[in-house]
Amino acid sequence: MNKGAALSTAEPKGASRWALRMHSLLIYVFFYAPIVVLVVYSFNDAQLVGDWRGFSLGWYEAFLDNDNIQESIWISVKVCIASTVISVVLGTMAALSLERFRWWGQKAFDAVLYLPIIIPDVTMAVMMLAFFNETSQLLNLIPGVDLSAGLEKLVFSHVAFNISFVSVVVRARLANLDATMEEAASDLYANRWQTFRRVTLPQIMPGIIGGALLAITLSLDDVVVSSFVASVGGTPISVYVFGLARKGVTPLINAVSVVMLSASMLLILASLGFQRATQFAREEK
Amino acid sequence: MNHSSSAVELKNVVKKFDEVTAVDDIDLTIGDGEFFSLLGPSGCGKTTTLRMIAGLELPTAGSVLIHGEEMGLKPPNKRPVNTVFQNYALFPHMTVAGNIEFGLQMQKVPKEERSELIEWAINLVEMDGLSHRKPTQLSGGQQQRVALARALVNRPEVLLLDEPLGALDLKLRQQMQIELKNLQREVGITFIYVTHDQEEAVTMSDRIGVMHEGKLLQIGTPEDIYERPTTRFVADFIGRSNFLEATVASENEVVLSNGDRLQLQSDHETGESVAITVRPERLTIHKKRENSTNQHQIDGVVDSVVYLGNAIVYSIAIDWMKLEVRSSETSNSRYSIGDEVTVSFDPSYVSVVSG
């Protein structure tokens, strides 16, 4: 038997076993200790984070009493949903056009599409600001759009960077999808839309879901671009928390973070559960 | 062959990819219910020709007719043909039944009729009991059957098959060749079969079209192609062959390099250098000067002997070249290296091709 293969499957022994265990333990500590600290200190009955004064739910009460924070969270959620939906649709379309068709100016479009991934957030933010200054009158002509409210500007700018990420993820999936499958569908009397709906879409769905999750995260996360384009009274939670932190880190920030963390954990668990359920349903079929 | 009985007709079809000519001015008529093979080495344009019939490529020039109807720019979903793809291209997210049902759904066949047809197709390819499997849970041979059923369930006027047995191992391939041929007889649909495997083409086809570098070199029955090749490429590509250099002396006579004259019909010009081709099994080997009537004879020396079990292959050195002789006589009168022998052949099993 091959010695290397035997080694790789065998249980490590002695010192190496101990070292490996310590290594993985360290990694878990590195990952999760900050989160544990965050959660623990959200229950701190003190004005400053680093100073433990006993257990209290006071900061959660403060959170519930603070209308500004709750409004910011709603703004974030709305912007996140809108920008994710729009960028998933546009990003998937961009991926399809690049991967399945040949057209004039394609290479240039390809290069430009990925710029938001490469260029620094600050540059992106300044660009968006300048863009809105120059085009606000034009964009206000779109029915239902009112840039002065700020929400639209946030959505526009989040879509601007999310499209790139969505199309990268979807395109990777699409590149692995055998194009003869689509030819087979059209050979079996499916028109273009039916081919897309019945053959292409189900198979790139994991890529689209991945892209959407990425878009959600990036939208909720974004501080730099959002703080440039947000209007007064339209501050998303990330920018709001950043502002709070500058005035001094109180356990209120921890409490807000724990709420957001729990919400995203619930979201992930729900999506896993949903995947399980559909998988079972399919297997039973 | 008249218009009404032709399933597929190609007229002056040309396909260029940028500057490369993949298919070069092909004319071809395939009869209704025929098993027709397009045979040629990879890159000869056979798959491109098939894809133009399917509508997956559009010709640069010329026209494609299916049952007399001009296909023009019609997309694949508007053509009365179905394809079995080389890699099967089964939909991995659907079951076997789902794959087979797809074309029927797209054609809006009513549900009851659909389930009847699916059952018929699954029976036809002997896949009973596997209809709820996913393609990834099937073996290569089973996937191939599903691909066949998926195409045949639509009852197309013409079934196009692009090297469908290419991915299978030899045993299974030979078994599937016979099954395919039987299946074609059973359903009575025109099959157009693309392959680079000459044995496969000869076994299954009613007629074969041999392609090389985008051109259709010869069309004929397997026997025509094998016994009466019109070009050196065809003779060389299908089976083994000896090529003897010769010159055309007149309409019905050629002269071999050693001065021997052969009575052979050819439409080559007088004085043109040609080659005569003769299959190794059409050559007979005798003791030197042992006469056999009405046959052409050349003297030579045995150069090598290879025993194959059911045959012996001799290489015979004659004055100006070596001839390959295949003898099914394996016990009596075996010859050894160095024996002086005479090789003879019947001129009716000889073809004249361009040198």
pLDDT, tens only, A92-135: 999 999 998 889 999 999 999 989 999 999 999 999 999 988 88
User: Cα(B39)–Cα(B141) distance, rounded to whole angstroms?
Assistant: 22
Return the residue in A182, A188, A192 with the most chain B beta carbons within 10 A, the one to mutate for interface testing: A188
**Residue B56 in contact with partner chain A when CB distance is under 8 A:** yes
Q: Which of B77, B79, B88, B133 should we substitute to test contact with A (largest number of A Cβ atoms within 10 Å)?
A: B77
Q: Report whether B207 contacts B190 (CB < 8 A).
A: no
Q: B89 vs A186: CB contact, 8 Å cut-off?
A: no
pLDDT tens across B72-86, in order?
A: 899 999 999 999 999
Nearest Cβ partner for B93 among A188, A190, A202 = A202
Short-list A195, A198, A189, CA closest to B80: A189
Nearest to B77 among A180, A190, A199 (CB): A190
Cα gap B203→B223, rounded to integer Å: 11
What pLDDT score was predicted for residue A247? 81
Q: Do B56 and A183 touch (CB under 8 A)?
A: yes
Check B106 against A203: CB less than 8 A apart.
no
Between CA B83 and CA B50 the distance in angstroms is 9
Nearest CA to CA, how far is A266 from chain B (Å)?
29
The verdict on B107 touching A (C-beta cutoff 8 Å) is: yes
What is the nearest CA distance from B81 to chain A, expressed in angstroms? 8
* Partner-chain residue, chosen from B54, B77, B91, that has the shortest CB–CB distance to A199: B91
The answer to whether B102 contacts A190, with C-beta atoms less than 8 Å apart, is yes
**CB-based contacts of A232: which residues, under 8 Å, 6+ apart?**
A150
| Cβ neighbourhood burial of A93 (10 Å; 0-12, 13-18, 19+) | middle
Asked if B87 and A178 come within 8 Å (Cβ–Cβ), the reply is yes
Top-tier CATH class for B240-354: mainly beta
Q: A189 contacts in B (CB within 8 Å)?
A: 77, 103, 106-107, 154
The predicted pLDDT at position A144 comes to 78
Q: Confidence class of residue A6 from pLDDT cuts 50, 70 and 90?
A: very low
* Mean pLDDT value of segment A225-230: 91
What angle (nearest 5°) sits at the alpha carbon of residue B182, between those of residues B180 and B187?
90
- The tens-digit pLDDT sequence of chain B (355 residues) is 444 578 999 999 999 998 899 999 999 999 999 999 999 999 899 999 999 999 999 999 999 999 999 998 999 999 999 999 999 999 999 999 999 999 999 999 999 999 999 999 999 888 888 999 999 999 988 999 999 999 999 999 999 999 998 888 888 888 889 989 999 998 889 999 999 999 899 999 999 999 999 999 999 999 999 988 989 999 999 888 999 988 888 888 888 888 888 888 777 888 888 888 999 999 988 887 666 665 788 889 999 999 888 889 999 998 888 999 998 877 666 888 988 888 888 888 888 888 6
Q: Bridge-partner residues for B81, per DSSP?
A: B158
Judge if ipTM > 0.85: no
- Strand boundaries in B189-272, DSSP class E: 190-195, 207-212, 215-220, 242-250, 253-256, 261-263
**pLDDT tens figures, B289-348:** 666 665 788 889 999 999 888 889 999 998 888 999 998 877 666 888 988 888 888 888
The CB density around residue A263, as the number of other CB atoms within 10 Å, is 13
Superfamily for domain range B3-232: P-loop containing nucleotide triphosphate hydrolases (3.40.50.300)
What distance in Å separates residue A51's CA from the closest CA in chain B? 56
Identify the closest residue of chain B to A279 by CA–CA distance. Answer: B93
Where in chain B is CATH 3.40.50.300?
A: 3-232
* Reported pTM: 0.81
From the options 3.40.50.1820, 3.30.300.20, 1.10.3720.10, 1.20.120.80, give the CATH code of A73-236: 1.10.3720.10
Contact B91 A178 (CB under 8 A): no
Query: In angstroms, rounded to a whole number, what is the distance separating the alpha carbons of residues A88 and A162?
Result: 8
Q: Which residues of A touch B (CB under 8 A)?
A: 178, 180-181, 183-191, 194, 198-199, 202-203, 285
Contact call for B91 and A190, based on CB within 8 A: no
